[in-house]
Amino acid sequence: MTILVVNAGSSTLKFATFERAAGALKLRFKDQVEGTGDDALQALFVRLAQKGIEVGQLTGAGHRIVHGGTEFSQPVIVDDTIEAKLNALRPLAPLHQPYGLDALRAMRERAPNVPQVACFDTAFHATQPEIATRFPLPRSYFERGYRRYGFHGLNYEHVVRALPLETGQPLPRRLLIAHLGNGASLCAVLDGRSIATSMGYSTLDGLVMGTRPGALDPGLILAIMKDDRLSPEQMEQVLYKESGLLALSGLTSDVRSLLESPMPEARAAIEAYCYWAARQAASLIAAMGGIDAMVFTGGVGENAEPVRARVINHLSWIKAFSMHIVLANEELIIAQHTSALLT
């Protein structure tokens, strides 16, 4: 069994292959190619061929799809009907969804006999109760899909599976997971299930991020659009590409560079990043009724000790809880889902 995992982003296409041996999935290799679209897919096929892997001989391919909407709360084998439904969800995540779906379409065309499995970043959060997902707007909006979804769910699911294996202990009942990177979010996991998360309808909400602002007063957005006469597309550019750490520092969105910089603006940006992570964490701890353990994951969460220390220091008023680091591994969880569906 050889499974290909495809994670198509806005600037790179990441991929990995797994083989089943002795009842377990083992990573064979992982790589990435720059770019998007057909050129990136063609480069992927070349890399696979160099490793002796023919696309048509794959057991299956698993794809990271950012948004599953309200219908898709589990991984699914994609046929024409499913693909049409997924394409209808493009407006829910217009800056993320197209890349994954375009790669899925290209793979189905290149290898029509290889099963393609869609795995959703929103699916892990489908267990959230309505009180956590409904905005205080007329119910008709909620029924039309305007609700809190949450993201980074594939890695949150990986952390929930991996933590007991790493500690040799049962999963803590009240677990707070901090996925910190250029994109960042928190998830409150109670008895192994997501009950609240910092991201909402879009990937803009919650924590300060690399180029995204996190939680904002919606009145502020309306005022800026009116005062500066910005179109929705122009405002979208500000919110997704020109805010967050980049805006606070005026220097860069890269946490490592900001930590190394002597500039006061860099220090202020890092302080804001940590302050809002801790402030949002306290909200999710309230949703769980306390905390037993916290996990840091993601590029910043795993590697930036000063960030972890600042966040924990902001939460020092809480009674003792254990702290862990779990390396992000969306590829493995996608491979596991794909293998399970195909066998």
Phi, psi of 64 (to 5 degrees): -80, 115
In 3-state terms, what secondary structure has residue 187? strand
CA 171 to chain centroid: 21
In 3-state terms, what secondary structure has residue 28? strand
- Whether 79 sits among the annotated catalytic residues: the reply is no
Q: How far is CA 15 from CA 7, 43, 45, in A?
A: 6, 11, 11
Contact 83, 65 (CB under 8 A): no
Q: How far is CA 160 from CA 73, 172, 195, 233, 291, in A?
A: 17, 9, 13, 37, 15
Q: Which residue has the tokens 């267990």?
A: 127
CA distance 5 to 16: 5
CA distance 153 to 341: 18
CA distance 317 to 303: 24
CA distance 85 to 102: 14
Contact 74, 115 (CB under 8 A): no
CA distance 197 to 195: 7
Contact 186, 280 (CB under 8 A): yes
Catalytic residue among 31, 38, 121, 217: 121
The residues assigned a catalytic role are: 121
